[in-house]
């Protein structure tokens, strides 16, 4: 047993049947897929050498999980789907077919525990691959760092992809030099807002829940059939909106688009049936590493401070409000920025991470799972955002046309995963189709919300 490595508290939590999170990374490829070549590249890749990807999940007599190193049989991990998964093939239809495949995976059974917890599904007729990786192996930042280590830039086959992120600005803001009085005020505000948001976090886990709306999920909804749609944005459009509001960030714009798009959608589904200003609460996953963006893989494997491999995620509760009355589109950004600025001053995400470890250590994964499950049931949606490479990349010499991320379903009826790549940002919208039957229209609501904000920003700069 000495050679076995225990799972982290977060890893144990993701294995609970009520949560059981598996990440699905959909990668579109320009050229046809050579199966033998893919298997050969996997066998020679750094992924195979990674201890998480070459270990079995085992449990001792007390039910405690461990990683145990094993040999890899590549053929068992590569699932080849030769026939089309949809009647139509080509272009947009390929994307639709891939989304249908992801929707089926979202509620499929857990992975095969007789092998390391990852698979690669090759959809040959649609020129795409689905990397299916259990969340217990690592969070989005860890896994994306590993994935991009296996890729190369399209314009320089010898160079690794690069990532530029403003996530650090999301957590720390733009502060510059401050006087002693300003620093004291900052400290007091940090303490005050931390207490407020930590209290909100606790009561959400116990009894407070969002009002029921046409997008509400709840206990057992994680088992309902799913649909997937894709909302597509240009990063230049987001940057244009950001310029219209002083000191705004890309994340301010993203969450503003979520709020505006949901307002549009809810007005369509339930006209005049919801109170103006109604609050909907989202659960956002936040990277807690000191270095934002792509991590150095060698540093992560050495466990260097601030960049350790694994799941280092905190939870933020992000409120958005329902508005239908005439409103300047940039007002959504201003209101969202004000809310996120307050969140920046708090230790809410660190508190959620710390309390999760504490509960897991002393009360066990069952109690921790109950608390997390209740938070999800008492809120309205999940949102995550992963920064991808800023230039086009290749994998095994095959140009990558898109990268999209989603996961298995939660008790939310609406889960959104944003992924940026080469000047674009695409959001996979995973819904319980019996609650949200038209995710394509919801995607349009988000896309149109951004375009309206861009137009409003352009009008403001020309005045």
* DSSP 8-state class, residue 412: S
Q: In what order do the strands lie in the sheet with 5-6?
A: 5-6, 65-69, 55-59
Q: Provide the 10 A C-beta neighbour count for residue 159.
A: 12
Q: Which helix (H) or strand (E) holds 36?
A: helix 35-43
Euclidean distance between CA atoms 254 and 159, whole angstroms: 30
Q: Which helix (H) or strand (E) holds 229?
A: strand 226-234
Euclidean distance between CA atoms 463 and 457, whole angstroms: 10
Euclidean distance between CA atoms 98 and 131, whole angstroms: 12
Q: How far is CA 50 from CA 5, 14, 67, 116, in A?
A: 13, 20, 12, 11
Check if 24 is active-site.
no
Q: Which two tokens stand for residue 190?
A: 């940090």
Euclidean distance between CA atoms 463 and 458, whole angstroms: 9
Q: What is the phi/psi pair of residue 262, to 5°?
A: -65, -35
Q: In what order do the strands lie in the sheet with 414-421?
A: 226-234, 424-432, 414-421, 381-386, 279-287, 313-321
Q: Provide the 10 A C-beta neighbour count for residue 189.
A: 14
Classify residue 84 as exposed, middle or buried by CB count within 10 Å of its CB (0-12, 13-18, 19+). Answer: middle
Q: Out of 135, 350, 412, 417, pick the active-site residue.
A: 135
Euclidean distance between CA atoms 314 and 375, whole angstroms: 13
Among residues 18, 298, 357, the alpha carbon closest in space to that of 149 is found at: 298
Euclidean distance between CA atoms 27 and 121, whole angstroms: 10
Catalytic residues: 135
């Amino acid at each position: 047993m000495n050679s076995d490595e225990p799972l982290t508290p977060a890893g144990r939590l993701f294995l609970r049947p009520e949560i059981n999170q598996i990440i699905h990374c959909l990668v579109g490829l320009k050229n046809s897929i050579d199966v033998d070549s893919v298997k050969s590249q996997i066998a020679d890749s750094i992924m195979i050498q990674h201890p998480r990807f070459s270990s079995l999940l085992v449990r001792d007599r007390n039910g405690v999980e461990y990683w145990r190193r094993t040999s890899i049989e590549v053929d068992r991990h590569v699932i080849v789907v030769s026939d089309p998964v949809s009647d139509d093939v080509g272009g947009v239809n390929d994307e639709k077919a891939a989304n249908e495949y992801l929707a089926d995976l979202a509620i499929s059974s857990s992975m095969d525990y007789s092998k390391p917890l990852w698979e690669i599904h090759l959809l040959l007729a649609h020129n795409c691959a689905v990397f299916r990786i259990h969340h217990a192996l690592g969070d989005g930042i860890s896994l994306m760092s590993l994935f991009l280590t296996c890729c190369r830039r399209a314009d320089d086959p010898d160079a690794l992809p690069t990532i530029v992120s403003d996530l650090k600005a999301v957590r720390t803001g733009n502060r510059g030099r401050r006087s002693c009085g300003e620093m004291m005020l900052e400290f007091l505000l940090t303490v005050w807002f931390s207490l407020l948001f930590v209290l909100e976090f606790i009561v959400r886990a116990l009894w407070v829940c969002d009002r029921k709306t046409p997008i509400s999920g709840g206990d057992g909804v994680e088992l309902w059939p799913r649909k997937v749609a894709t909302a597509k944005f240009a990063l230049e459009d987001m940057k244009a909106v950001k310029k219209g509001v002083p000191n705004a960030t890309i994340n301010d714009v993203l969450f503003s688009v979520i709020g505006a798009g949901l307002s549009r959608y809810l007005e369509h589904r339930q006209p005049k049936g919801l109170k103006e200003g109604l609050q909907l609460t989202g659960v956002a996953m936040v990277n807690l590493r000191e270095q934002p963006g792509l991590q150095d893989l060698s540093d992560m494997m050495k466990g260097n401070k601030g960049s350790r491999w694994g799941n280092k995620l905190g939870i933020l509760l992000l409120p958005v409000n329902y508005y239908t009355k005439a409103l300047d589109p940039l007002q959504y950004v201003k209101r969202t920025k004000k809310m996120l600025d307050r969140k920046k001053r708090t230790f809410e995400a660190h508190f959620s991470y710390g309390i999760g470890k504490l509960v897991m250590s002393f009360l066990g994964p069952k109690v921790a799972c109950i608390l997390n499950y209740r938070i999800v049931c008492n809120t309205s949606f999940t949102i995550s955002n992963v920064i991808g490479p800023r230039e086009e990349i290749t994998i095994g010499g095959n140009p990558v046309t898109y990268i999209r991320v989603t996961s298995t379903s939660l008790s939310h009826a609406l889960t959104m995963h944003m992924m940026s790549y080469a000047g674009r940002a695409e959001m996979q919208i995973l819904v319980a189709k019996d609650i949200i039957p038209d995710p394509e229209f919801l995607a349009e609501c988000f896309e149109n919300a951004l375009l309206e904000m861009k137009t409003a920003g352009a009008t403001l700069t020309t005045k």
